[in-house]
Every structure is written in structure tokens, then in C-alpha cells.
Chains A and B, each alone.
Chain A
Amino acid sequence: MAYNLKEWSQRPERFAPGHRMCAGCGSPITVRAVLRAVCPGDRAVVTSATSCLEVSSCIYPYTTWEDSFIHTAFENAAATCSGVEAAYQAMKKKGKLDQTYKFITFGGDGGTYDIGFQSLSGAMERGTDMVYVCYDNEAYMNTGIQRSSSTPKYADTTTTATGSRSDGKVQYKKDLTKIMAGHHIPYVAQTTFIGNLKDLHEKAEKAIYTPGPAFLNVLSPCPRGWRYETADIMKICKAAVDSCVWPLFEVIDGKWILNYQPRHKLPVEDYLRPQGRFRHLFLPGNEHLIAELQANVDARWEELLKLCGGN
């Protein structure tokens, strides 16, 4: 069935306005899109790690979530969801529940790549029937922009400060999507906000409606942490994809599928330049740092092309 944004627009809004995330935040765009993929007749239980999303979406006595929601702690969103899903299985088996529920967990990169990694890995490995969505804004934003293992190399964060002795983060970004593919779960995908959100919407739908564990990694820019013009979020995401910094791909039952190959691969500079967190890379004398990043992007892209083979 062909993608039709108008049809998608007629689905009920499951993420109400009135949350306290920053103007222009990428996280709620991710959340709205993922929840839109839940069929109107189905219900969801949303779990969230402590994060910008959680503290902004559920402040007593308010909630932005139209569905049931639970937050317990920072490192255990996937484990908490695992328990909710087990309860669902128990209730279904005992005939105590007719309705269909989908289990969706949201975590930032902090609660997913780092402190929440163990519980994510456990929940996925156990085959929990759930979707884990990482809204990846590439740093611990909620506590004030500290580096995570998802932060790109040379990014300026409050714990990888740049100065005469430092060029920013020392390590390359961890490839969590690949690690999740290594769990051999039925569906893994990497996506972000492009155009009419076809990629994100369709992947969310596949993730939610594929039985078993699914993982979605959604690049969700943060205007405060990345320091770009707030209104330009879509340009940033497009540059990320067109420069192959953030490729769009899926791993379906172990088969790697590339969803998009840019006709004209942009130089990584075009992605870095609009972002204040990379501003120091454009100082004279730092050209080699950008060259290094370019070489890394190219190598990873080649690797991905090989994995996706002729698919």
C-alpha cells in the first residue's frame, strides 16, 4: 500500500500538546511519529527512561500521553517494559483482557547506549514483544549536554569541552544499531525525519507490528545541545542522511537493507557546519580533524554497503 501522509494524519494524536520540552525539540517529533503508527483501535503502554522526554511529558499532575505510561528509573526502561509485557501475556492467557496492547519504550541515547544498555540488551535477548525507540540526540541532554557513547567524535559537550588542549570528544560514536542487529531480533532500523516522514512512519509501523522485540534508532536533533538554528531541524536531518553520517537502513530477520542512497553524497562538512557543537572544527588549522571525520564516515558507509550487499 502506497504511503499516504493524509491518511496518517487522520490517526488520533497520542501525544498531547502541553509538554515542557524545548521549542523545536526533536524528541517529541519522534514520539508523535512512532505513536501514530499504532493502529487506531489498538492501545499502547509507553515506558520511558528518565530523560528530557520523561520529565517533560509527565509532570504531576499532568501527562501528555493519551495511552497508559510508566516511568520508574533511568537505566531500566526496557526491563520495566518487559514486566508490563509479561503482565499482558499473563492477563491474555487468563482471559482477563480482550484488547490489543502494544509496548513501546522510549529512551534517550543516555538511557539506551549507556546506563540503560544492559536492560535493553536483556529485554531484547529475552524476546520481549516490544519496540524500543531510542530518540538519539547524541548526549545526555537532560542533565545539560554531557557526552554519551553516542556523541560523535570531536563534538563539544559539557564533559568533552573544547579548548586549546581539547578538540572535543575523543571517541567515535558507538554503533548501537549494529549491536542491536547482533541480538538477532526480528526488526532493527535506523531512521530520522526526512520529507513527509515516510521512512520513520513505515519503520515505526513495521517495528510495532512485527511480533517479538524490535529496535528503532531515530536521530532526533537537539537545538540546545547541537546549537543549530532551531527552525532548521529538517535541514540538519537531511544533511545527516545525505552525508551518510546517519544512513537509513533496516535489518529484517538478519537481512541488511539499505533504504536510501544519496544521489550526491554530501561532504561531512555540510553536516557539521550549521552546528555550534562542531564550530571549533572550522578554525584554521583544524582541517585535518574534518578530514579524519570524513574518512571515518566513508569507511562506515562502505562497511554498510557491503553488509547490505545487493539488497
Chain B
Amino acid sequence: MKKNLMEHIGEKSPYQDMTPGGIVYGGGNSTDVRTGDWRTVTPVFHPEKCTHCLLCFPVCPDSSIPTQDGKRLDFDYDHCKGCGICAAVCPLGAISFGEKEAEQ
């Protein structure tokens, strides 16, 4: 897990703790922001139906379909906003979207 170089800064931090000019050190620390909390509909991955064509992973606006060695993994529910694009794009029905699922 990559260290968030900015994690000591929050909305209660005194001005002395601010980084000069508001510079943000490091990259990609937005992973600490749980945009998955935005979701009202949750996609569900059915790996048994998936052939790993990978049509879904690049059209996820939120980089929430991680892949490994050319195969997709389960959703990153910390960040998935439930837009449904992946489900619409899947040719094999390996992603269901719109059923009443319990929040992960």
C-alpha cells in the first residue's frame, strides 16, 4: 500500500502544516478518498461468465476494475461510483447492475 505523503494534512491542520504553495507531494494519493460512498447501484462481477476480454476495464472512469496479468479482478468497491458503463459494455453478462445488492 503506497504511503500517502500528505496524510498528515487535514481540514483541522494549522497553517504551519500546509505544504508551500499548496504543492501535493507524491502521486495518486486520491485513493484515500472513498468515492465508492457515492454509489446508489452496485455492479456485481460474475467471474464464472467472464472470459477476460477486458472491454470493461479501460472504460471505467474510476479505474475501479483492477487487472492482473491480462485478467480482470473484482471491483474496487472503495471507488466504484456505480455508473454502469462496464455492465453495458460486457458482451457476456458477466456484470450485473441494477439488482438490489447489499453494499459491500
Q: Which of A9-17, A74-82, A140-148 contacts B (4 or more CB under 8 A)?
A: A9-17
Determine if A202 is an interface residue (Cβ-Cβ < 8 Å): no
Compute how far the CA of A26 lies from the CA of B30 in the bound complex, rounded to whole angstroms. Answer: 19
What are the residues of chain B within 8 A of A235 when measuring CB–CB? 88
A58 to chain B, nearest CB (A): 7
In this complex, the interface size class of chain A, counting residues with CB under 8 Å from chain B, is 35 or more
Please name the residue on chain B nearest to A27 by beta carbon: B61
Contact B31 A234 (CB under 8 A): no
Determine if A36 is an interface residue (Cβ-Cβ < 8 Å): yes
How many residues of B are counted as interface, with CB atoms below 8 angstroms from the partner's CB atoms? 46
Q: Which of B55, B83, B87 contacts A196 (CB 8 A)?
A: B55
Which residues of B30-75 are within 8 A (CB) of A? 30-35, 38-39, 52-55, 57-64, 66-67, 69-70
Contact A232 B88 (CB under 8 A): yes
What are the residues of chain B within 8 A of A69 when measuring CB–CB? 27
What are the residues of chain A within 8 A of B83 when measuring CB–CB? 23-24, 223, 230-231
What are the residues of chain B within 8 A of A41 when measuring CB–CB? none
What are the residues of chain A within 8 A of B34 when measuring CB–CB? 18
Contact B70 A7 (CB under 8 A): yes
Contact A61 B84 (CB under 8 A): no
Please name the residue on chain B nearest to A17 by beta carbon: B79
Contact B84 A231 (CB under 8 A): yes
Please name the residue on chain B nearest to A4 by beta carbon: B70
Asked whether A15 and B70 contact (CB < 8 A) given A230-B83, A231-B83, the answer is: no
Compute how far the CA of A35 lies from the CA of B85 in the bound complex, rounded to whole angstroms. Answer: 20
Q: Which of A17, A33, A58 contacts B31 (CB 8 A)?
A: A17
Please name the residue on chain B nearest to A64 by beta carbon: B30
Asked whether A67 and B84 contact (CB < 8 A) given A36-B58, A62-B33, the answer is: no
Contact A197 B58 (CB under 8 A): yes
What are the residues of chain B within 8 A of A234 when measuring CB–CB? 59, 85, 88-89
What are the residues of chain B within 8 A of A20 when measuring CB–CB? 33, 35
Contact B58 A10 (CB under 8 A): no
A42 to chain B, nearest CB (A): 15
Which residues of B1-52 are within 8 A (CB) of A? 6, 9-10, 19, 22, 24, 26-35, 38-39, 52
Compute how far the CA of A107 lies from the CA of B90 in the bound complex, rounded to whole angstroms. Answer: 30
Asked whether A197 and B59 contact (CB < 8 A) given A6-B54, A23-B83, A65-B28, the answer is: yes
Contact B27 A63 (CB under 8 A): yes
Q: Which of B6, B24, B85 contacts A231 (CB 8 A)?
A: B85
What are the residues of chain B within 8 A of A19 when measuring CB–CB? 30, 35, 62
Contact A15 B82 (CB under 8 A): no
What are the residues of chain B within 8 A of A61 when measuring CB–CB? 6, 9-10, 19, 24, 29
A54 to chain B, nearest CB (A): 13
Of the A-B pairs whose beta carbons lie under 8 Å apart in the complex, a sample of 16, sorted by A's number, is A6-B70, A9-B57, A10-B67, A13-B66, A15-B63, A16-B27, A16-B30, A22-B81, A27-B61, A36-B58, A62-B32, A62-B33, A66-B28, A69-B27, A231-B83, A231-B88
What residues make up the interface of B, taking CB atoms closer than 8 Å to A? 6, 9-10, 19, 22, 24, 26-35, 38-39, 52-55, 57-64, 66-67, 69-70, 76, 78-79, 81-85, 87-89, 97
| Complex A-B, nearest 8 residue pairs according to Cβ-Cβ distance, in ascending order | A231-B84, A18-B30, A17-B79, A24-B83, A16-B28, A23-B81, A6-B70, A23-B83
